[in-house]
Structure 1
Amino acid sequence: MSGEQEVRIDPAESMAGVPDAFQRLWTPHRMAYIKGDSKPIDATEKQCPFCTKPKGPDDEGLIVHRGEHCFVVMNLFPYSPGHLLVCPYRHISWYTDANQAEVDEMASLTRTAMKVLTEVSDPHGFNIGMNQGAVAGAGIAAHLHQHVVPRWEGDANFLPIIGRTRAVPQLLDDARQALAEAWPDVAAEA
């Protein structure tokens, strides 16, 4: 080792969670999503979170609104605050399997969701869509659901691209409560 310089590392600098020149956003809750803990083992209604959530209380299931054929629920792993899912109660995988009443109510609830989100959090825009099948990005491909994602200028930065992390500055229950409280008044105006 002659001529080589010994490199000393301060143990405090090598430990995770110790303040340094970088800001870190720790998101340990995302491990459940990464590992697939929240995904059904199979495609049955018994395993499906979109079939089981409506059977419990709204606040525990993060349900914002219940319609006749469909319901609106917070996304457990949101892209942004207020990220909603519009789901039929019936356990179907494909949009083409939805009956006309389900299609009509999904469209109506999506429009109302946009109005409620606008009233509550004043987004600058929305992403709306369905991922049909696992290969197309559906996290829970066994149960049809439509995403309603509010967007704000500057909300998507380098974190999702480089750090594979999203900064979501609002707790799910806080967002669910505000949206659920505003839903009846906004829906009545429509």
Structure 2
Amino acid sequence: MKMLWAPWRTNYVENISQITECFLCEAVKQPREKWREFLLLYRGQRAFVIFNKYPYNAGHLMVTPIEHTGDMLSLDDLTALEIHKLTKACIKALQACLKPHGFNLGYNLGRSAGAGLEDHLHLHVVPRWNGDTNFMPVLSETKVISQDLYELYDRIKPIFESVVNVT
């Protein structure tokens, strides 16, 4: 049996049966003073940016419409444009803060495409570094994230805010 110690998942696992609302919708409706708690980085007119609580890599962000929809084709042009602009801001902020060598960007549309949350679209912005795949994922199917989400939030937030105001 493979064991992975992941204490940050305890709250999610213990309370999953009590979750009645989409976690993205819950986060985006929070007042500004609770944004850090929900890892909400930015809220625009039609879209927002949030940290992935279960990241593939440090700095893994998601850009998502405020409207609760899983249908990419239903997005109006203004929402699609805001998502695109926020994605560019994410890349700029992550480049300034973490200096990754590249990025993976993408949507998982549908369960068969890997969507863990099918009903609320979200675009993954995953920073990548040369050599960030090491023996852990290859041999033990385990990914090590060595950076605390809230520390990283505190580092990226002011950079993101300055970038989004310039973009």
Pairwise same-fold verdict (TM > 0.5): yes
* 1:40 Cα offset (Å): 9.0
Q: Does 1:49 align with 2:26?
A: no
Structure 1 residue 158: deviation in Å? 2.7
2:155 counterpart of 1:143: no
Deviation at 1:142, TM superposition (A): 0.8
Determine the C-alpha separation between the residues in 2 that align with 1:123 and 1:157: 16
Look up the SS of the partner of 2:48 in the other structure: strand
Does the Cα contact within 8 Å between 1:64 and 1:177 map onto a contact in 2?
no
Q: CA deviation at 1:174?
A: 1.1
Q: Is 1:166 matched up with 2:117?
A: no
SS in 2 for 1:149: strand
Percent sequence identity over aligned pairs = 36
Question: Are 1:40 and 1:47, in contact at CA under 8 Å, matched by a contact in 2?
Answer: no
Structure 2, unaligned runs of 5 or more: none
Corresponding position: 1:104 with 2:78: no
State how 1:4-15 maps to structure 2 within 5 Å: none
Higher relative helix content: 2
SS, match of residue 117 in structure 1: helix
1:72-130 superposed Cα distances (whole Å, 9 cap, x missing partner): 00001001111000011100002111111110001000011000000111000000000
CA distance in 1, matches of 2:97, 2:131: 19
Tell me the amino acid that sits aligned with residue 21 of structure 2: Q
SS where residue 181 of structure 1 aligns?
helix
- Residue identity in the other structure for 2:64: C
Which one-letter code corresponds to 2:6 in the other structure? T
**TM-score of the two chains, using structure 1 as the length reference:** 0.77
| Aligned counterpart, 1:119 | 96
- State the shift of 1:160 in Å: 2.3
C-alpha distance in 2 between matches for 1:39 and 1:124: 39
Query: Contact 1:82 / 1:149 at 8 angstroms: preserved in 2?
Result: yes
Amino acid at match of 1:48: C
SS in structure 2 at match of 1:173:
helix
Q: SS of 2:125's equivalent?
A: strand
The number of residue pairs the alignment matches comes to 162
Task: Say which SS state the counterpart of residue 86 (structure 2) adopts.
Answer: helix
Whether 1:27 and 2:27 are equivalent positions in the alignment is: no
Cα distance in 1 for residues equivalent to 2:109 and 2:139: 26
Match of 1:175 in 2: 152
TM-score, scaled relative to structure 2: 0.87
CA-based RMSD? 2.4
Residue 186 of structure 1 is matched in structure 2 by 163
3-state DSSP of counterpart to 2:93: helix
Higher deviation after alignment, 180-189 or 125-134: 180-189
